[in-house]
Amino acid sequence: MILLEINNRIIEDSLTLKFNNAAAGNKPEAIDVTIADFDGVLYHLSNPGGDKTKVQVSISLKFYKDLQEHGADQLIKREYGSFLTTPESGYNVSIAFDLDHLPANRDEVIKKAGLLKRNCFASVFEKYFEFQQREENSQKRAVIHYREDETMYVEAKKDRVTVIFSTVFKDDDDIVIGKVFMQEFKEGRRQFQQAPQVLFSHKEPPMELQNTNAKVGDNIGYITFVLFPRHTSPAARDNTINLIHTLRDYLHYHIKCSKAYIHSRMRAKTSDFLKVLNRARPEPKNVEKKTFSGKTFKMN
Amino acid sequence: MSTTLQPYLKAVRQTLTAAICLENFSSQVVERHNKPEVEVRTSKELLLTPVTISRNEKEKVLIEGSINSLRISIAIKQADEIEKILCHKFMRFMMMRAENFIVLRRKPVEGYDISFLITNFHTEQMYKHKVVDFIIHFMEEIDKEMSEMKLAVNSRARISAEEFLKRF
């Protein structure tokens, strides 16, 4: 699998199980699952108030406050409307399903539940895409600290939307491999004219972030995506959001895969070398000798 | 460039074959001790002249001999950043398993990427010509492995970028 999935399989599978169970008329069972997703996001599947006929899905994002500034609440309301309930304590958004009154379009609802995280992110992008579609300049830049040391900046201009990811490479080798990947991303436009422009800056923030107090360091990289009207148009919008919001995880996932592959190659090669070296040992000669009276003994 | 590979390996092979004539020699300095003289370097009369065989500035082999031991240090070609880290990773991987490798030294000599230490005890247990074969085989395979790993990283980068960007 080259691309990361944007929906959460675990949620989808658990809900499918519960819904099918209820539809078949079986007695509902209790559920209490805590799931972790990328970027420190936690989900909690439970029965609110111990009522087994109701299933609640809660999501907690450390950076929800940043998202709320850009209209996350409205978007969640729009998408999940009737299923929204008061957020569970310690979580930011909760949606609940009544197993006794299953919604008619079960599969669609399950899919939407799996996209909770994506929908939380979507609000920022949609707001800035709107700015660009109306050909306005956004006055403020959106700053989302979606991970411990990593931030995402979104800004809209008349003819483009710029999304800048700051990412930290924990390992020095990661920096080198990361650079190889970013080089290929930069050249992607040559092959695919429809792709957005990608720029990469190592150690220092790019021009757009010059006067902000954006982090500087040896192991910090800034990835800039320039999205053009064809990416921000209402028709292409959802697709663009799906692809962009997991970019950082996508990059680091592939860097780790490369390292794992290199490691397995090294292991194979090393055992290869050992085999060749062992050829240098002479085989132990087993000589059996017999004495005149018939006694045999082995010589090594 | 590859036209220089065969003469380079031939020169290394012949130097090794000559230098790998080792015999048991107890330490002159400490009673009842037997140490590889090329590592200890206390008695100058037991050490042979070190020989460096260079293919170019970056690739060379240093062969230091003595009466009971032989040290071979190899500097591997590293053209760019990614080759450097791949080489570094690979050498570290093998040196951690030096015990299994018997003839491998845990730390490379200054200025080189990997070092081997062959003592008279090793030559008593193993065929000398096969040990030399191993070293030459090692040198050939390392270069091949480096370029294959670099190719793997580059193609993975290209494919993942392609997959990502073509969906826009």
Structure confidence by residue, pLDDT tens digits, B120-162: 999 999 999 999 999 999 999 998 999 999 999 999 999 998 8
Per the CB < 8 Å rule, is B126 touching A273? no
Per the CB < 8 Å rule, is B141 touching A172? no
Per the CB < 8 Å rule, is A184 touching B157? yes
Pairing mode, strands A84-85 and A161-168: unpaired
List all residues of chain A from 172 to 211 with a beta carbon under 8 Å from chain B: 172-173, 176-177, 179-181, 183-185, 187-189, 191-192, 194-196, 198
The alpha carbon of residue B122 is apart from the nearest alpha carbon of chain A, in Å, by: 10
Rounded to an integer, the average pLDDT of B72-100 is 92
Under an 8 Å CB criterion, which residues of B touch A?
Answer: 81-82, 84-86, 89-90, 93-94, 97, 100-103, 125-127, 130-131, 133-134, 137-138, 141, 145, 148-149, 152-154, 156-168
Closest-approach residue (CA) in chain A for B154: A180
Which range is least confidently modeled, A84-98, B21-35, B69-83? A84-98
Q: What angle do CA A16, A18, A19 make, to 5 degrees?
A: 65
Q: Tell me the H-state helices in B41-127.
A: 81-96, 98-101, 120-125
What pLDDT is stored for residue A86 in this prediction? 85
Which range is least confidently modeled, A30-39, B12-21, B86-95? A30-39
User: What one-character-per-residue DSSP string does A8-66 give?
Assistant: -HHHHHHHHHHHHHHHTTPPP----EEEEEGGGEEEEEE-GGG-TTEEEEEEE-TTHHH
Assign residue B106 a region: left if phi > 0, alpha if psi is -120 to 50, beta otherwise?
Answer: alpha
The alpha carbon of residue A81 is apart from the nearest alpha carbon of chain B, in Å, by: 29
Helix, coil or strand: residue A114: helix
Per the CB < 8 Å rule, is A254 touching B163? no
Per the CB < 8 Å rule, is A176 touching B134? no
The percent of residues above 70 in pLDDT, for chain A, comes to 99
User: What one-character-per-residue DSSP string does A123-138 give?
Assistant: HHHHHHHHHHHTT---
Whole-angstrom Cα distance, residue A148 to residue A153? 15
- ipTM, two decimals, is 0.90
What pLDDT is stored for residue A1 in this prediction? 66
Of B39 and A103, the structure prediction assigns the larger pLDDT to B39
Task: Tell which of A277, A279, A283, A300 to mutate to test the B interface (max B CBs under 10 Å).
Answer: A277
What pLDDT is stored for residue A115 in this prediction? 87
Per the CB < 8 Å rule, is B148 touching A254? no
- Ranges assigned E (strand) in B7-149: 51-54, 60-65, 69-75, 114-119
Structure confidence by residue, pLDDT tens digits, B12-56: 999 999 999 999 999 999 999 999 999 999 999 999 999 999 999
CB B72 within 8 A of CB A247: no
CA torsion through residues B143, B144, B149, B151, sign:
positive
Helix, coil or strand: residue B45: helix
Which range is least confidently modeled, A72-76, A287-291, B44-48? A287-291
What pLDDT is stored for residue A300 in this prediction? 61
Which residue matches tokens 């919604």? Answer: A103
Torsion on CA atoms A256, A262, A263, A266, rounded to nearest 10? -170
Whole-angstrom Cα distance, residue A42 to residue A64? 12
- Which of chain B's residues have a Cβ under 8 Å away from the Cβ of A185? 161, 164-165
Within a 10 A sphere around the Cβ of B133, how many other Cβ atoms?
Answer: 17
Rounded to an integer, the average pLDDT of A273-296 is 82
The alpha carbon of residue B84 is apart from the nearest alpha carbon of chain A, in Å, by: 10
Per the CB < 8 Å rule, is B100 touching A3? no
What pLDDT is stored for residue B1 in this prediction? 54
Q: What are phi and psi of A24, to 5 degrees?
A: -80, -5
Helix, coil or strand: residue A255: helix
Whole-angstrom Cα distance, residue A76 to residue A270? 53
What pLDDT is stored for residue B47 in this prediction? 94
pTM recorded for the entire structure:
0.86
A297 touches chain B (CB under 8 A): no
DSSP state of A199: E
Tokens of A79: 């998408």
Whole-angstrom Cα distance, residue A169 to residue B122? 44
Within a 10 A sphere around the Cβ of B45, how many other Cβ atoms?
Answer: 8
- In a 10 Å sphere around its CB, with 0-12 CB exposed, 13-18 middle and 19+ buried, how is residue A173 labelled? buried
Structure confidence by residue, pLDDT tens digits, A198-257: 989 888 888 888 777 777 888 888 999 888 888 888 888 888 888 888 888 899 999 999
User: Among A170, A169, A200, which residue's Cα sits nearest to residue A182?
Assistant: A200
CB A36 within 8 A of CB A21: no
**pLDDT band, residue B109 (cuts 50/70/90):** very high
**pLDDT band, residue A281 (cuts 50/70/90):** confident
DSSP state of A282: P
- Which of chain A's residues have a Cβ under 8 Å away from the Cβ of B82? 176-177, 180
Rounded to an integer, the average pLDDT of A171-177 is 89
List all residues of chain A from 51 to 110 with a beta carbon under 8 Å from chain B: none
What pLDDT is stored for residue A212 in this prediction? 77
DSSP state of B58: S
B137, B138, B166: residue with CB nearest A192: B166
Within a 10 A sphere around the Cβ of B2, how many other Cβ atoms?
Answer: 6
- Which of chain A's residues have a Cβ under 8 Å away from the Cβ of B130? 279-280
Q: Provide the b/e sequence for A238-268 (b: ≥16 CB within 10 Å).
A: eebbbbbbbbbebbbbbbeebbeebeebbee
Report the mean per-residue pLDDT for chain A: 86
What pLDDT is stored for residue A75 in this prediction? 86
